[in-house]
Amino acid sequence: MADRNAANLMGRGESLLFLTDDQLRRGIEAMFFAYRGFTADPDRILQEYGYGRAHHRAIHFINRSPGTTVNNLLSILGVTKQSLNRVLRTLVEDGLVDSRVGTRDKRERHLYLTEKGAGLERALSEAQRNRMRDAFRAAGPEAVAGFRAVLEQMMDPDMKRHYLDGGDSSR
């Protein structure tokens, strides 16, 4: 709202913001500290189960897209299949995830949360949603819109696909 001087040279309503290195540094540190807060509550829960963030990520995206394949999960998570496989194996062994051989293509494994897995998912996402909700409410609706707008710009373009996707990029 402040310096909008040299604006509107760029088609859309974007102002040519004068951003000092210090303002940008604040943004960088905000991301760092906020991400820590963002993961703190689930981390505590996971610790009780002997799991880590990798397990949380797998559980989250399986819940979002039931029946998704390992390969699809790989493209979302951006890790190697060997790394994901280890996490997935423990989740299957512990009875949180069900891995079903594909009917059309028997090379594929389709992933589903079991009742037990869905239970942990609820505990994790509830904790994370509570913090997110509190932050959104305290900051107000316009802030939420801005938050989402900036984060979306910060993503790698290929990832926006997974983000915008309502879910189910499987099958």
Chain residues binding DNA by CB under 7 A are: 50-55, 69-72, 74, 78-89, 99, 104-109
Q: Please identify which residue in 6, 9, 11, 30 interacts with its own copies, judged by CB under 8 A.
A: 30
Q: Which CB sits closer to DNA, 15 or 71? A: 71
Q: Which CB sits closer to its own copies, 100 or 129? A: 129
3-state SS assignment for residue 68? strand
Q: Please identify which residue in 116, 133, 168, 171 interacts with its own copies, judged by CB under 8 A.
A: 133
Strands 68-69 and 109-113: antiparallel
156 touches its own copies (CB under 8 A):
yes
Estimate the crossing angle of helix 115-139 against helix 21-49, to 10 degrees: 150
Q: Which CB sits closer to DNA, 116 or 171? A: 171
Q: Name which of DNA, its own copies, none residue 70 binds, using a CB cut-off of 5 to 8 Å depending on partner kind.
A: DNA
Taking the complex as a whole, the smallest distance from the CB of residue 46 to its own copies amounts, in Å, to: 15
Q: CB within 8 A of 132, min separation 6: which ones?
A: 38
44 touches its own copies (CB under 8 A):
no
149 touches its own copies (CB under 8 A):
yes
Q: CA torsion angle for 25, 27, 28, 32 (degrees, to 10)?
A: 130
Structure-token pair, residue 38: 């963002």
Q: CA torsion angle for 128, 134, 139, 141 (degrees, to 10)?
A: 80
Q: Give the span between the Cα atoms of 60 and 51, in whole angstroms.
A: 13
Q: Which residues bind its own copies (CB under 8 A)?
A: 1-2, 4, 13-17, 19, 21, 24-38, 40, 57, 60, 64, 78, 125, 128-129, 131-156, 159-160, 162-163
